[in-house]
Amino acid sequence: MKAVILLSGGLDSCTVLYQALAEGCECYTISFDYQQRHRRELHSALAIAQKANVIQHQVVSFDLRQWGGSALTDDSIDLPTGRSLEEMSQNIPVTYVPARNTIFLSFALAYAETIKAERIYIGVNALDYSGYPDCRPDYIKAMQEVFRLGTKQGLEGKPVKIVTPLLYLKKAEIIQLGNRLGVPWELTWSCYAGGDVACGVCDSCRLRLAAFAELGLKDPLPYAQNSN
Amino acid sequence: MKAVILLSGGLDSCTVLYQALAEGCECYTISFDYQQRHRRELHSALAIAQKANVIQHQVVSFDLRQWGGSALTDDSIDLPTGRSLEEMSQNIPVTYVPARNTIFLSFALAYAETIKAERIYIGVNALDYSGYPDCRPDYIKAMQEVFRLGTKQGLEGKPVKIVTPLLYLKKAEIIQLGNRLGVPWELTWSCYAGGDVACGVCDSCRLRLAAFAELGLKDPLPYAQNSN
């Protein structure tokens, strides 16, 4: 079965790719260059796609800096650093990018319908979701309805199915799953800061480091700072 | 009230812009350069935005030719020509671009949320819809749910509202509405074929010409061929 996998290059999306491969899917990966602060993740995505020997890897480019509105697409908004996991979960953070997953899923849908894929895999997570509205189960259900009603495949009774293997897993459980699947953590990239080495203090680094620490495991990536 | 208007440069979206202006909106227009065969429409969109004195006009660029799948994004697929209105309405045509309105509405949503707009206007039409699944009322309702569930403004109880003034109008009624609003038809562009002069035989030209003819009006655009 053909599947499109949204591959950011991070820990979650890489695990999802390996899950899709384990389920026997023919995997087509898609990454997005939206002029994000951490465009370095695109190199990781490509390296992972090559390592996993996917059938095709597509990069879609557009510029969300043209209106900004997020710390990831506007350098004048500072990245939050040094926040506790509790602080992270309380509000929608400034790293929220308006409509990002909706844009990503729309392109994945266009790609899937063109190659006649049956599934789209996305690594959204409702537990450690850092307050992002477009990672919640209700949102994914609404997008599934859009897939059913707004496409040719949907009208023909075979809408592309959105698959979310990580939706109800905690970050540490995702790492355990990835370990079972043989995910190459050393190729992944989570840091928001855009440097050559992961910063270790942005929300994304802290969530990742805390999860490895919780399991008593060492994250193979080097970090500029590591408070765990 | 701030509103984002999806402006392709065509007859419908131009009428929608003038309707939004008539309703007192502060209008921000958005166009898409997706490497469509008829990119010429982008010049029309800009000219219309300038004529209408909008607050800001954004062009978002990406490349749907990278996977094709439509006669509008793959030159190896011939455009249908010379079809009757009845033939057009029977099937999803090869000019269908997978997930196009979903992509367009996603970007409009991102833009709207960034500038804190309350509305998005889109010129979809369910009557003369030429078989496109993503122009139907059910589809628009599903996207509205996505807006409600997948955004910060939605979670705060103020989702961006999708406004569809043309949804239940026939093409001739759209022209009548546009005439009342003072729409500059001479600046609009509907032809799919990508030439310097409208072809007059593609589905989009034929639908437009038939509607002007039905009203006993002359379309101010020159055409290479005009069978009406």
Extents of the domains making up chain B: 2-214
> Is residue B129 over pLDDT 60?
no
Q: The whole model's pTM is what?
A: 0.96
Query: B2-214: which CATH topology?
Result: Rossmann fold (3.40.50)
3-state secondary structure of B203: helix
pLDDT, one tens digit per residue, over B74-119 is 999 999 888 888 888 778 889 999 999 999 999 999 999 999 999 9
Average pLDDT, chain A: 94
> Is residue A210 over pLDDT 90?
yes
Mean pLDDT of A2-14: 98
Which pLDDT does position B85 carry in this prediction?
81
Cα dist from A182 to A5, A15, A19, A133, B128, whole Å? 17, 9, 10, 30, 52
Better-predicted residue by pLDDT, A127 or A156: A156
pLDDT, one tens digit per residue, over A31-67 is 999 999 999 999 999 999 999 999 999 999 999 999 9
Measured between beta carbons, which residues in chain A are less than 8 angstroms from residue B98? 109-110, 113-114, 151-152
Query: Which residue in chain B has the smallest CA separation from A103?
Result: B106
Which pLDDT does position A180 carry in this prediction?
98
Nearest to A155 among B106, B115, B133 (CB): B133
Nearest to A110 among B98, B115, B148 (CB): B98
Confidence of residue A178 (pLDDT cuts 50, 70, 90): very high
Strand partners, B26: B2
> Is residue A129 over pLDDT 60?
no
> Is residue A155 over pLDDT 60?
yes
Instruction: Determine contact: A96 vs chain B, CB below 8 A.
Output: yes
Nearest to A114 among B67, B133, B134 (CB): B67
Residue owning tokens 């008539």: B22
pLDDT, one tens digit per residue, over A86-98 is 888 778 889 999 9
Ramachandran region, residue A47 (left: φ > 0; alpha: ψ -120 to 50; beta: rest): alpha
Which pLDDT does position B175 carry in this prediction?
98
Confidence of residue B227 (pLDDT cuts 50, 70, 90): low
Three-state helix/strand/coil letters over chain A:
CEEEEECCCCHHHHHHHHHHHHCCCEEEEEEEECCCCCCCHHHHHHHHHHHCCCCEEEEEECCHHHCCCCCCCCCCCCCCECCCHHHHCCCCCCCCCCCHHHHHHHHHHHHHHHHCCCEEECCCCCCCCCCCHHHCHHHHHHHHHHHHHCCHHHHCCCCCEEECCCCCCCHHHHHHHHHHHCCCHHHCCCCCCCCCCECCCEHHHHHHHHHHHHCCCCCCCCECCCCC
Mean pLDDT of B175-201: 95
Measured between beta carbons, which residues in chain A are less than 8 angstroms from residue B91? none
Which pLDDT does position A92 carry in this prediction?
86
Which pLDDT does position B152 carry in this prediction?
92
Mean pLDDT of B149-153: 94
Mean pLDDT of A152-164: 95
Which pLDDT does position A228 carry in this prediction?
61
Confidence of residue B130 (pLDDT cuts 50, 70, 90): low
Mean pLDDT of A161-187: 97
